[in-house]
């Protein structure tokens, strides 16, 4: 009986170790901690697949557990005053210094857009709450965290439009005065899908005729910037990396546009481009815009173009117009639209499917004359900035946040 218990225990431990272990690159710090964290994500993803297959709940509905697990109630403390409000119909969380002394100069502000693939996430998640408080206390700034609506059911362009409306509302004179914000010292920032929204808003504000709003800076943390080529070297190199494997990123993209699984299958095969969207592939040609050191063993091959009949059968006409829209794929704008954009901070990670999106955008912005600070973390992985809460707190997350805030301090 005792021997049987020992055998069962050893077998259970062996199975657990086998499930948790992943071949993670040696230069990633705290590898076992990342393996443990990712085992939760993988387990939840498997459960989400099963629930969707059985018709119990859609995939993203199950994955939303990630948001709920990290959810907190933002409350004021001795240093930071927190209020929840609605700006032009969109929920927001505002963080500001708790003490406003008489005669204090106007403050800078950061409009922060959370990540989560447009389908997950919330300003009320613990890592975002902590980050906002850190920005407030270290910069003596106001942080406006936007709770934009998520897909599904709120597909593109709804999340983008929510953010755009919030930014315009925040720049109203009476709102700026209410929070003692200097309109010439406002940045828009975000991570992952939030970086996508931040880049898109920065571009569209500059394009709108007679638009008086001028952002001082844009700070993009491992942003996702294009949906046309999902086979860049970083997508290939990191297709099985923890936290954001290629399958999940493609799933986020397809769910942003539609619940039709035909688009997901086409995007997985990188055959989702229409003849119309293929014209824009020149803006994401990584053989041109990606420094050669990142080409590695990969050779450029233009994505296949699907023709009209098969696209109609797959109900992909409307989504194809969406992923070619620069509000969804900011990397697709022509060079003329990049000029005069606010100075940019772009953070990229070596072990991230989105690495090349950020690097190509930095390359194109510099070529257009925009001041760019590009920080590349050779041992970084996607989502690292979120790992600041025990037991999944990572040293690299602290370094990233420290450098990010330092840049804001010096440039905002």
122, 189, 192, 277: the active-site residue: 192
59 CB neighbour count, 10 Å cutoff = 23
Type and span of the H or E element at 182: strand 181-191
Q: Give φ, ψ of 259 to 5 degrees.
A: -90, 0
Instruction: Specify whether 192 is catalytic.
Output: yes
Rg from Cα positions in the chain:
22
Q: What angle do CA 258, 259, 263 make, to 5 degrees?
A: 65
325, 352, 356, 357: the active-site residue: 352
Instruction: Specify whether 91 is catalytic.
Output: no
Q: What angle do CA 108, 113, 117 make, to 5 degrees?
A: 165
114, 155, 272, 382: the active-site residue: 382
Find out whether 352 and 380 touch, Cβ atoms under 8 Å: yes
Please name the residues in contact with 293: beta carbons below 8 A apart, sequence gap of 6 or more: none
Instruction: Specify whether 352 is catalytic.
Output: yes
Q: How far is CA 89 from CA 166, 197, 262, in A?
A: 9, 18, 33
Q: Distance between CA atoms of 83 and 341, rounded to whole angstroms? A: 31
Residues with catalytic function: 192, 352, 382
């Amino acid at each position: 009986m005792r021997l049987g218990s020992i055998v069962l225990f050893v077998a259970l431990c062996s199975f657990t170790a086998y499930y948790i272990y992943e071949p993670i690159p040696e230069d990633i710090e705290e590898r076992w901690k990342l393996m443990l964290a990712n085992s939760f994500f993988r387990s939840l993803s498997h459960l989400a697949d099963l629930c969707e297959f059985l018709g119990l709940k859609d995939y993203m509905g199950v994955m939303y557990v990630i948001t709920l697990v990290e959810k907190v109630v933002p409350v004021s403390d001795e240093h930071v005053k927190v209020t929840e409000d609605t700006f032009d119909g969109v929920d927001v969380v505002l963080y500001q210094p708790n003490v406003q002394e008489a005669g204090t100069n106007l403050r800078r502000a950061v409009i922060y857009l959370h990540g989560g693939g447009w389908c997950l996430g919330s300003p009320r998640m613990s890592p975002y709450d902590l980050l906002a408080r850190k920005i407030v206390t270290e910069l003596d700034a106001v942080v406006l965290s936007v709770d934009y609506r998520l897909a599904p059911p709120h597909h593109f362009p709804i999340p983008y439009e929510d953010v755009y409306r919030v930014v315009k509302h925040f720049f109203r004179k009476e709102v700026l005065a209410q929070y003692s914000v200097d309109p010439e010292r406002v940045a828009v920032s975000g991570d992952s899908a939030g970086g996508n929204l931040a880049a898109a808003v920065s571009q569209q504000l500059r394009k709108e005729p007679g638009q008086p709003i001028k952002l001082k800076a844009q700070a993009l943390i491992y942003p996702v910037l294009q949906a046309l080529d999902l086979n860049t070297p970083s997508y290939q190199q990191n297709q099985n990396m923890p936290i954001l494997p290629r399958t999940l990123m493609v799933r986020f993209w397809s769910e942003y546009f539609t619940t039709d699984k035909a688009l997901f299958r086409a995007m997985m095969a990188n055959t989702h481009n229409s003849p119309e969207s293929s014209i824009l592939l020149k803006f994401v040609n990584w053989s041109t815009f990606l420094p050669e050191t990142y080409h590695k063993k990969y050779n450029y091959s233009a994505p296949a173009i699907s023709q009209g009949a098969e696209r109609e059968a797959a109900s992909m006409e409307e989504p194809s117009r969406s992923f070619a829209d620069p509000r969804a794929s900011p990397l697709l704008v022509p060079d003329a639209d990049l000029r005069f954009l606010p100075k940019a901070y772009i953070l990229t990670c070596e072990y991230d499917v989105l690495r090349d999106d950020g690097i190509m955008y930095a390359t194109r912005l510099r070529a257009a004359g925009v001041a760019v600070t590009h920080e590349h973390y050779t041992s970084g992985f996607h989502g690292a900035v979120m790992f600041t809460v025990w037991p999944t707190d990572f040293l690299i997350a602290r370094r990233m946040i420290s450098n990010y805030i330092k840049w804001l301090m010096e440039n905002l």
